[in-house]
């Protein structure tokens, strides 16, 4: 077994677990110890510190390091049209809502990571409304400020779109040339539908004014313990229109929040009416 560059005690690991839970609500399983070492060790190298204890001492008094700490421990695994069964449901819901109410639609991608999810939403709605610019605004938020900046640019390795139909890629992406060869960029008409913002779901206030027709919060709840999940779902509930949809990840159950949401389909929920 290769010797580690930095000593990493049980006390260091437990302190990191406590700090990330207190600051971001993320519940780190004990099996994540190696992952935590690898990611936080990078911050030790950047800051020039010799031990986890020194780094964590600095973290508690140096506010500008907090975001780097959170970014390091945030997982950003995603892809275009991940959990593909959600998108036809969204398309039908958007078409029916617009036909019935003749108004613009609002959708929130909460935990948008590097942007594949909100751009998949935008493409779905562009196809739903044909040649017309879709009457929709998409808010895309994430705790990790670095991935939000990346998402705004909309630039990805070409292999990220390899599983999409070629006609769809041509319609919604630009292929890079010269120094950008091997990359694709989301076209401006898709990007302009999405507004990206850094956002802490567990922050004291949500500066959101109007309710949403759909909220995507997929593979986010799994990072929180059950009480924190419930608090978050209780905050989502009033942010959805009465007939709005909440999309969650394939491994996420809302059984402990049956008073807030009920299943309408596979990992698609609707809000329980307020009494």
- What pLDDT digit, counting tens, does each position of 5-17 carry? 899 999 999 999 9
The whole-number average pLDDT for the span 35-39 is 90
CATH number of the domain at 200, please: 3.40.50.150
127 with 187, same domain? yes
* Site of tokens 């973290």: 59
Q: What is the pLDDT of residues 117-138, one digit of tens each?
A: 999 999 999 999 986 788 999 9
* Residue 49 and residue 102 in one domain: no
**Domain co-membership, 63 together with 90:** no
142 assigned to a ligand binding site: yes
Structure tokens at 160: 């990220």
Q: Are residues 229 and 259 in the same domain?
A: yes
27 and 156 inside one domain? no
Query: Residue 71 — pLDDT band, cuts 50, 70, 90?
Result: confident
Does residue 109 register a pLDDT over 50? yes
Tell me the CA end-to-end span of the chain in Å, nearest whole number.
59
The answer to whether residues 225 and 176 belong to one domain is: yes
CB 267 within 8 A of CB 250: yes
User: According to the annotation, is 71 in a ligand binding site?
Assistant: no
Q: What is the mean pLDDT of residues 24-53?
A: 89
pLDDT at residue 2 tops 70 = no
Q: Which helix (H) or strand (E) holds 18?
A: helix 10-24
Stretch (H or E) spanning 137: strand 136-142
Whether 137 is catalytic: no
Range of 31's domain? Answer: 10-72
Q: Is the CB of residue 86 less than 8 Å from the CB of residue 170?
A: no
pLDDT the model gives residue 83: 92
Q: Is residue 128 domain-shared with residue 190, that is, in the same domain?
A: yes
Catalytic residue among 12, 43, 142, 191: 142
Let me know if 4 is a catalytic residue: no
Residue 76 marked in a binding site:
yes
Distance CA 69, CA 210 (A): 32
Residues 98 and 221 in one domain: yes
Whether residues 230 and 99 share a domain: the answer is yes
Ligand-binding annotation for 78, yes or no, is yes
Whether 221 and 102 share a structural domain: yes
Which of 15, 33, 39, 137 is catalytic? The answer is 39
Indicate whether 79 belongs to any domain: no
Instruction: Answer whether residue 2 is part of any domain.
Output: no
208 closest CA partner among 250, 166, 249, 239: 239
- Looking at the structure of the chain, the number of domains it has is 2
């Amino acid at each position: 077994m290769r010797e580690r560059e930095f000593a990493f005690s049980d006390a260091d690991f437990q302190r990191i677990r406590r700090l990330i839970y207190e600051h971001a609500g993320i519940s780190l399983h004990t099996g994540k110890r190696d992952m935590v070492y690898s990611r936080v060790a990078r911050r030790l190298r950047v800051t020039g510190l010799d031990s986890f204890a020194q780094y964590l001492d600095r973290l508690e008094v140096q506010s500008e390091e907090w975001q780097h700490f959170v970014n390091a421990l945030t997982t950003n695994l995603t892809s275009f049209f991940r959990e593909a069964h959600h998108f036809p449901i969204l398309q039908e819901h958007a078409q029916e809502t617009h036909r019935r109410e003749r108004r613009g639609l609002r959708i929130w991608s909460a935990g948008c990571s590097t942007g594949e999810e909100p751009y998949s939403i935008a493409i779905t709605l562009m196809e739903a409304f044909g040649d017309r610019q879709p009457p929709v605004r998409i808010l895309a938020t994430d705790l990790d400020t670095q991935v939000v900046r990346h998402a705004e640019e909309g630039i990805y390795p070409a292999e990220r779109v390899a599983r999409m139909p070629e006609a769809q890629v041509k319609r919604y992406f630009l292929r890079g040339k010269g120094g950008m060869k091997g990359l694709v960029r989301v076209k401006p008409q898709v990007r302009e539908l999405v507004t990206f913002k850094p956002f802490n779901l567990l922050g004291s206030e949500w500066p959101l004014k109007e309710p949403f027709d759909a909220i995507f919060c997929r593979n986010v709840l799994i990072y929180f313990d059950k009480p924190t999940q419930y608090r978050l779902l209780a905050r989502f509930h009033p942010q959805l229109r009465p007939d709005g949809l909440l999309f969650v990840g394939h491994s996420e159950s809302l059984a402990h929040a049956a008073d807030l949401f009920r299943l309408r389909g596979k990992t698609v929920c609707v809000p329980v009416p307020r009494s």
